């Protein structure tokens, strides 16, 4: 692979963006490699972590490649990003993004396609497309806007504002802020924990929760009842529930105070 690294640690696939000389900027070939790596992860793991090699997670679209495209080629490229990133958001595995340095433009869009985002203290996020004369094209108008809200995304795009990790957590762009250099470790720990969940439950969380969020209240509650019933009657759920009732499974513990 030219732009990505891939490894499996236990049940967790570790995917690294490996174009540090370009701040891990995303090109067409980059997207195709990512598509292949997603298939590899789904074939051999139960959860996945994506991170960036070098000083940054990802600085977004490779503008040198993009500027040479016709408008119609740009549309096809954008739709391909949508297709591949959707395999992360609505695939077989829970994905954890380990963020550091620049998480900008398409890098933010890629991170937003993951289910959980862990940012170290060096992380900064921006959507500079407005200053480049373009518009988000990797799913940001849907995924990023639903994380941080339309008003905040509008501000970032109109003014070029960048936000640090603490602000990103307040805005719901990330779920965790950790010390510099520890995001991959923390994300891998959480991915390993998620990999122990029942596969059907993880699948329901990944696919049902975002869809229910888009539904009317009563529609969402109706769908929830069917999913709850279906997952609860699976053989694995029965084994886990019996283990809890027989005191063979740990109870929920109080938080330790870590973010």
In order of 30, 78, 198, the CA distances from 27 in angstroms are 5, 11, 36
Measured in Å, how far apart are the chain's first and last C-alpha atoms?
35
Q: Contact at 8 Å (CB) between 7 and 13?
A: yes
Return the residue matching tokens 């695939």.
91
- Cα 244 to Cα 23: distance, rounded to the nearest angstrom: 47
Q: From 10, 174, 37, select the one nearest 96 (Cα to Cα).
A: 174
Q: Contact at 8 Å (CB) between 80 and 28?
A: yes
- Cα 159 to Cα 151: distance, rounded to the nearest angstrom: 12
- Cα 259 to Cα 238: distance, rounded to the nearest angstrom: 32
Query: Which positions ≥6 away from 241 have C-beta within 8 Å?
Result: 232
- Is the dihedral angle over the CA atoms 132, 137, 140, 142 positive or is it negative? positive
The residues annotated as belonging to the active site are 109, 129
């Amino acid at each position: 692979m030219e732009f990505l690294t891939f490894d499996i640690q236990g049940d967790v696939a570790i995917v690294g963006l490996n174009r540090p000389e370009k701040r891990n900027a995303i090109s067409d070939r980059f997207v195709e490699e990512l598509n292949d790596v997603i298939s590899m992860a789904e074939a051999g793991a139960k959860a996945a972590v994506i991170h960036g090699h070098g000083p940054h997670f990802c600085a977004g679209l490779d503008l040198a490649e993009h500027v040479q495209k016709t408008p119609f080629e740009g549309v096809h490229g954008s739709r391909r990003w949508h297709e591949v990133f959707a395999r992360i958001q609505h695939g077989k595995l829970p994905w954890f993004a380990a963020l550091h340095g620049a998480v900008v433009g398409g890098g933010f869009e890629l991170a937003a396609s993951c289910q959980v985002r862990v940012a170290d203290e060096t992380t900064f996020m921006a959507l500079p497309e407005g200053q480049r004369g373009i518009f988000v094209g990797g799913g940001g108008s849907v995924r990023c806007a639903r994380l941080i809200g339309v008003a905040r995304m509008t501000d970032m795009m109109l003014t070029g504002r960048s936000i640090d990790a603490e602000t990103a957590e307040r805005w719901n762009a990330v779920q965790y802020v950790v010390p510099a250099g520890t995001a991959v470790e923390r994300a891998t720990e959480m991915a390993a924990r998620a990999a122990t969940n029942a596969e059907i439950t993880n699948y329901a969380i990944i696919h049902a929760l975002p869809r229910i969020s888009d539904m009317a209240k009563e529609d969402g509650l109706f769908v929830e009842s069917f999913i709850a019933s279906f997952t609860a009657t699976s053989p694995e759920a029965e084994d886990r529930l019996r283990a809890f009732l027989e005191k063979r499974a740990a109870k929920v513990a109080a938080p330790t105070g870590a973010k």
